[in-house]
Structure 1
């Protein structure tokens, strides 16, 4: 793998497959009596979060600790950042502490690229979500979950539904799934599709019902109210009626199809409670798989893995 993981587009097909194969082995660690590997003993992983997060932060913490790394979690709230310290000064401080990897979530798109390219840190930089840009490890765990249920993703049809405009998850999934050979359809109101989406390696549609019968996986995106500063649709009820996944729509999916959501969910809006809790839902499994995938990323970037063999 490359030195950093900043975008899903950074991964060639063989590199993405290697991460997923490594994650398959990491998943077995959770079944051991002692759920740890010594791979990153003596290494320091810093979680640098300028934006609120629960799932991603805890997932990276669990992944690093299961690899025996020392973990420092840095939250912007209550830190010197809230007093005006810049990203550069924060990064230089962490470098002075000997950070071997910096996992960064930032509200500004491009912040991880800036951190990686400016020479402020010698460690690997992993993008844990930047603005409305990308979230590559989420795309990897989504692909990992799909592969476990659907097999090889080449030729599979994946439908991603909802607030594509504000979703870094949608962008990263579109790029990674295309790399892995899947066909991606983005379904959203016209107001929630970004400018330039016609240049993405996807098809687009304004009608969810047209995309159900052929879908091998349906991923519902959260309506990100905190990122919205205008009315992108008439009402929550109208959005749910046209783009929400309920039991009637789920029943139109092929028998093998799975239902996904990156979380957290707005139950009753983009997905109903009965669908979220159904046997087709793999939403809780995505959380479990997230730890294994992030272990794989840290192992490959920080652990110095240079062979094709998996972890011991």
Structure 2
């Protein structure tokens, strides 16, 4: 379990911050998923909740680039009627030497109620939360390799929509660069909390973590064997710098050994679903015919992201 400088939960069990899914109780995760499911219609274009967070200010404090996460958080806040402050680190006083903590505190002094933070360093979001006022809320939009909790939640929502709420019946396979993936860690944390029947992990030896990340997971080296009878296949993006670091011999060899093809999908359960957090490298970790095929729920994941982030925003700003 991750040690945090600030608690994620209030004394009454309500969500204060969302920094990680590691150690978050199953009932809290389930409540967020229930709420997100109920928000699906509003998330995809409704106007019925435009007063829910009226007068509250949300800041997207992104120190790393993002497309899906930042856009869906902005849409989520808009659907709920919050004021949105987009922070561009490249045009800020951070370029003049201002510390990240001072940047946050100056924005906080302008009336920001909630910061949605993406950062390259492990633990950076929790550190900012530890330096903020007690009433200010923080949501981790991805930090270092450690966590991407809203991605984990939207993945669980997508799984639940297709496979039902009883995770104990599920065999889930995560494929690829788990070592450097904050998404994989949050998915594993959520799957553990929800009692998944079996969590399988498959990838090159040099791309698997050596810490306790894979505790309780079944680690398998050969993809064809790992795919047998699984209900969901979660593919991970392979960053091309892994080849430059010598962790992967070539992109072509990686695809031969770990790329998801239609033939390999056929090894899984007949109704298995294919997932990917994006952005995809077509022809590296996944064949285009699979990414766009009938088993793919990748775009469902994207649309679920808005509903999940609405649910999280409501939860932290209502407490």
Q: Which residue of 2 aligns with 1:234?
A: 249
Q: Give the Å deviation of 1:2.
A: 2.8
Which residue of structure 2 aligns with residue 7 of structure 1?
Answer: 20
- Which residue of 2 is the match for residue 89 of structure 1? 102
Matched, 1:78 2:88: no
Any stretches of 5+ residues in structure 1 without a counterpart?
Answer: 305-312
**Do structure 1's residue 65 and structure 2's residue 94 form an aligned pair?**
no
* TM-superposition CA deviations, 1:54-106 (whole Å, max 9, x none): 11000100001100000001121221112221111111111101111100000
Change in CA separation of 1:120 and 1:201 when aligned onto 2, cut-off 3 Å = farther
Partner Cα separation in structure 1 for residue 23 and residue 99 of structure 2: 27
In the other structure, the counterpart of 1:267 is 282
Could you tell me the TM-score, scaled by structure 1's length? 0.93
Which residue does the alignment assign to 1:169?
Answer: 183
Q: Which residue of 1 aligns with 2:31?
A: 18
Q: Distance in 2 between matches of 1:209 and 1:167?
A: 22
Give the structure 2 partner of residue 310 of structure 1: none
- Matched with 2:10 is none
Counterpart position of 2:119: 106
Q: How far apart are 1:214 and its partner, in Å? A: 2.0
1:198 and 1:143, CA in 2 relative to 1: closer, same or farther beyond 3 A?
closer
Inter-partner Cα distance in structure 2 for 1:26 and 1:261: 22
Contact 1:95 1:121 in 2 (8 A): no
Structure 2 segments unaligned to the other structure (5+ residues): 1-13
Classify the secondary structure of the residue corresponding to 1:108.
coil
Matches of 2:212 and 2:253 in 1, distance apart? 24
CA offsets 1:275-300 (integer angstroms, 9 cap, x no match): 00001100011100000000000011
Contact kept, 8 Å, 1:91 with 1:120, in 2: the verdict is no
1:157 paired to 2:171: yes
Equivalences for residues 295-306 of structure 1 within 5 A = 295-304=310-319
Note if contact 1:174-1:200 (Cα within 8 Å) is conserved in structure 2: no
Q: In structure 2, how many angstroms separate the alpha carbons of the residues matched to 1:80 and 1:228?
A: 35
Paired positions, count: 304
Give the 5 Å matches for 1:121-140: 122-140=135-153
Q: Which residue of 2 aligns with 1:205?
A: 220
TM-score, L = length of structure 2: 0.91
Q: What is the rounded CA distance, in whole Å, between the counterparts of 1:269 and 1:228 in structure 2?
A: 12
Residue 188 of structure 1 corresponds to 203
- CA shift at 1:155, angstroms? 3.0
Residue 31 (structure 1) shift? 5.9
Judged with a 3 Å threshold, the aligned counterparts in structure 2 of structure 1 residues 265 and 199 are, in CA distance, closer, same or farther, namely closer
Over the residues paired in the alignment, what is the CA RMSD in angstroms? 1.6
- Match of 1:307? none
**Residues 260 and 44 (structure 1), Cα distance of their counterparts in 2 relative to 1, 3 Å cut:** same
Deviates most, 210-219 or 78-87:
78-87
Q: CA deviation at 1:303?
A: 2.6
CA contact (8 A) 1:130 1:168 kept: yes
Cα distance in structure 2, aligned partners of 1:56 and 1:31: 15
Query: Partners of 1:85 and 1:28 in 2: how far apart?
Result: 42
How far off is 1:33 after superposition?
5.4
The structure-2 alpha-carbon separation of the partners of 1:103 and 1:157, relative to structure 1 and needing over 3 Å to count, comes to same
How far off is 1:158 after superposition? 0.7
SS in structure 2 of the partner of residue 77 of structure 1: helix
Q: How far is 1:203 from its partner?
A: 1.8
